Structure 1
Amino acid sequence: MTDALQTLFRGVKGAGKRIIAPLQRGDGPNKFRLSAVDTATTTHDGDNGWAKRPPATLECPRCEADILQHNARDNIDCPRCVAEFSHEEFPDLELKSLTCPVCRSEMTHGQRHPESLDIVEWATCDGCRYHWEFKHSYSD
């Protein structure tokens, strides 16, 4: 009877460890998310800085096709016509949307200082609550 009890105890202990394992931090990054989409009122995680801007979809000024710019420093090349733009021309093109790098949903985005900057300054994903912020500083 003692062996059966020890075997049962080991089985229950092993099951408990497997249930608790995703909730514990390990040596690597903690990718377990506890946020509930319908109840989230704040952002869950995010990045800042122009280099970490989410992928952008722009409108080609020549043929009106969608141009996907994966990285903020990538050149902007239209897949339908021969239009090519450098990443520095981003403010001159029409931004259609930003794509969440976590869940690939379309993000809500906007500007905080439209009179000072010609670029998008923030974006939030309503699906997973990821948030990106353009980090800038002002000097007098």
Structure 2
Amino acid sequence: MNKIICEVEQKLRAGDYKLTPRREHILRVILQNKDKHLSAEEVYNLVKRRVPDVGLATVYRTLEIFQDLDVIHSIDFGDGRKRYEFGGEPGEGHHHHHLICTGCGKIIEVNEDLLEELESRVTSAYDFTITDHELKFFGYCRDCKQQKNKQP
């Protein structure tokens, strides 16, 4: 984790920002919850446990800076709230997809790139350089599907 924090600190410096203690707390919360897609409010609540006087505006500003510097990515899963996830290791593509359960709101990551062939065709056909993509599937997870099938 310390290696990642140092890399983020370098990105911040390159963008004329500093890694303040509050920003570091926010980054640590994101890194410790890599498997989750936290909203700004959830990040705020987790940071507030460690730094009681942190403000929600500070969390929003920091998330915006991290997003601008490609440290994190924001995703809208259709619930009207931005969710954030860590951007990954340097040089690592951000190619994974999400399954969103419309029953319980669970988010499942699909960690394989399902669109390589399509990207190649689009690049070739339209002379367009693709830098990233996002794919979301909406439906019911195993638990919600079982519950639906049990209802009369």
Normalization by structure 1: what TM-score?
0.27
Structure (1 or 2) with the greater strand fraction: 1
* Structure holding more helix per residue: 2
Q: Is the radius of gyration larger for structure 1 or structure 2?
A: 1
**Which structure ranks higher in relative contact order (CA pairs < 8 Å, sequence separation ≥ 6)?**
1
> What is the TM-score of this pair, normalised by structure 2?
0.25
